[in-house]
Chain A
Amino acid sequence: MRKVHFKGVALPYLLLLPQLVITGLFFFWPAGQAVWQSFLREDAFGLSSEFIGFENFADVLSDPSWLEAAGRTLVFSASVAALALGAALFLAVQADKQIRGADTYKTLLIWPYAVAPALAAVLWLFMFHPNIGIFGRMLNAAGIAWDYKLDGDQAMLLIILASAWKQVSYNFIFFLAGLQSIPKSVLEAAAIDGARPLRRFWTVTFPLLSPTAFFLLVVNLVYAFFDTFGVIHSLTQGGPGKSTETLIYRVYTDGVMNLNLGSSAAQSVILMILVIGLTIVQFRYVERKVHY
C-alpha cells in the first residue's frame, strides 16, 4: 500500500477524529462502564452501590444456570455456524457454475442479509407459528406435535434455523468470491489428472477455500454469540422455560428484567473477553495461513 506522509500532526489527528469520537462514544465509554459496573453491587433501586471486586465474576462462573446457558450457547452457535456455512457453501458452489440466470440467483441469495434480525424472526414466525404459520399448521396437520412455545427443543431448532438463514447471505458472498478466485485452470488440471467433480471439490476447491471458511467460522460464531439477540427476543424470549436463553439473552434478562446490573455487567465482560480472544485467534491464523 502507498504511504502518505503528512507534515505536522494536526491534520492526521483531525482526519482520525470522527472515527475516534464514534469508537470512544459508542464503544469505549459503555464498555468501560460495563467493566466498572462489573466490580460493583447495586441495590435494586439504584440508590447505593459498593465495590466488591471479582465477586460478581465468581458468582456468575459458579452459577449452574449460567453454565447451562453457556453450554446451550455453544450448541446454538455451533449449529448456526455449521448450518449457515454448509448451506452457503453449497449455494455458492451451485451459483459458481455457469447457469442461466446466475446473476438473478446471486442477487436473490444476497437479499436476506438486508433483512433486520427482528424482521427475519417475524418471517420465521409467520412460517412456523403453530396456529398462524403455514409450515406450523402443515406439521400439526401431518400429526407432528409442533409448538415451539411449549417444546424447548423445537424452540431451539427454530432460532437456529432463523439465525442461520440470516447469515447464509453473508457467507455466500464470501464463498462465492473465494470460489471465483480459484483459477479455472487449476480445476481443469485436476480434471485432466483424473479427478471427478466431487473429488475435485474435496481435494482442490475446499482446501483452497479453507482460509475463507476459517474467517467465516469466526465471524459466524461471533454473530451467533452476539447478533442473534433480535431473533431470540422476537421468537421465543429465551423460552419456553430457559430452553433458548443464550448468554447474550441472559445478559439482557439479568440486567434489564431482573435489574441485577453488577452480574449482567460481569457477564458482558466475560463475553467481551471471549470475542477478543476469537478475534486474536483469527488475526494470527489469517496472517500466517491465508496467502497461497
Chain B
Amino acid sequence: MATLALRDITKSFGATHVLHGVSLDVAEGEMIVIVGASGCGKSTLLRIVAGLETETSGAVVIGGQDVTGLEPADRDVAMVFQNYALYPHMSVFGNMAYGLKIRGLPKPEIERRVGEAARLLGIEALLERRPRQLSGGQRQRVAMGRAIVREPKLFLFDEPLSNLDAKLRVQMRAEIRRLQKRLGVTSLFVTHDQVEAMTLGDRLVVMHQGHAAQIATPMEIWAKPADTYVAGFIGSPAMNFIPATLGHGGHVATLAGGLALPMPGRMGTDGQGVTIGIRPEHLRPGMGGLEAVVELVEPLGSEAVLHARLADGSPLTARLPGILHGEGRLGLVLPLESLHIFDAASGRRLESAG
C-alpha cells in the first residue's frame, strides 16, 4: 500500500508527442481509473508508472520514493495485462509463485500466499493446470492472483476485462472492485469503457490527446464535465451539443432556431459563441422547447432512446421513460438546471460569473 504521484509526465516517440504533461496524486488505497479513447496515451501512462516505458520528462513517485529511471523489478508494482500475459510453460501455481521465487521467499511462505490468493479467487482446483487449459475468465483470475500474491505497493490494470465476454466482464468488474477494496491496494486501472470507469473508480482521469482533461470523482465528472470532450465521452447515449450565442449581457443564450434560454448568471460577453450541452435523459417531452423530428426509436424496456433531428438537420438524442413513442414530430423541453454551458471556441465549461 502506498501513495502514487505523477509529476508533469511527458512522453514522445520520436516526433510524436503522446503525453503532454500529466500530473496526478493518488491517495493510499485509492482506485483511479484512467479512461479515454484509443490513442489518448492512457496505456503509455500506465506503462511509464510500471517502468516498461521511460518518460521523456517528469517524475514518478511511489510511496514517497522517486522511482523515475528504476527498472520495473525495483518498483514493487504488479500489473494485470490485457492478454493476461501468463507464462505458458508454467502451471497456474508456477505462474503465481514466479515473482515470489525471484524474491527468494521460503517455500512454505510461497505456498501459503499462493494458496490464500487461490482461495480468494476460487481457483484452488486449477493450480496444476497450464494456462492453455483455462478459459478466459480463469486466466483473468490467475493474472489477478499473480498480482495479489506479490503484495505490491501498487496494482496496475491494463484493460484487463476487454478480452472477456459481456456477462463475464460485468462479473469480473465487480470482483475486481471487491478485491481492491478488501486488500486496500492503491490501484491504477486503464480502460476505454466508460461504464467500467464509472463503476470501478474512486476517481477518474479522463485522458484526451495526451492531456488529463479532467480528474474527479465519477459523479462529479458526470454532473460537471470540464469540457465538451469529457461531456461527450462520459454518459450513454452521449450528451447533445447545440450551438448558441450569448446576449442580454451574457444572461441569455439564443439557439440557432431562435429559442432563447435564460442562463443562471452572466456566462460571458454578448455575442460570444457557446455550446449548450444537454444529456439525452434530461430532455422532457413538452411544448415551448425544441421542435424535433424523431427518425428512430430504440426501445430499451422501461425507457426508449429517440434519435431525432432538429429543423437545421443537426442530430438530437433523447432518452425518455415509457414505451409509447412513435416516429414523427416531437416537442422537447430543456430543463434549465440540467444544462451545461461550454465556450464554443475552447470547449471549456463556463460557470456563471454572478
Contacts and interface: CB of A to CB of B under 8 A. Distances in A.
B77 interface: yes
A195 B102 contact: yes
Interface string B50-80: 1110000000000000000001110101110
Contact of B88 (A186, A194, A199): A186
Interface stretch (A155-163, A169-177, A201-209): A201-209
Given A183-B83, A185-B81, A203-B98, A192 B72 contact: yes
B: contact size bracket: 20 to 34
Given A188-B52, A188-B81, A193 B150 contact: yes
Contacts, number: 67
B153 interface: no
Contacts of A199: 102
Contacts of A188: 50, 52, 72, 79, 81, 85
Contacts of B86: 186, 189
Interface in B91-137: 98-99, 102-103, 130, 132
A275 interface: no
B167 interface: no
Contacts of A185: 81-83, 85
A205 to B, nearest CB: 10
Contacts of A195: 73, 98, 102
B79 A189 contact: yes
A27 B292 CA distance: 82
A20 interface: no
Contacts of B132: 291-292
Nearest to B131: A292
A60 interface: no
Contacts of A204: 87, 89
Q: Helix, strand, loop or mixed for chain A's interface?
A: helix
B133 to A, nearest CB: 11
B266 interface: no
Contacts of A5: none
Nearest to A211: B89
Given A188-B52, A189-B79, A191-B52, A196 B73 contact: yes
A194 B103 contact: yes
Among all A-B residue pairs, the 10 with the closest Cβ atoms: A193-B99, A185-B85, A292-B88, A189-B85, A194-B73, A194-B102, A207-B89, A191-B72, A192-B72, A185-B81
Given A188-B50, A190-B87, A196-B71, 4 more contacts: A189-B85, A192-B75, A193-B98, A193-B99
18 contacts: A183-B85, A185-B83, A189-B87, A192-B75, A192-B78, A193-B73, A193-B78, A193-B150, A194-B73, A194-B102, A194-B103, A199-B102, A203-B98, A208-B88, A292-B88, A292-B89, A292-B130, A292-B132
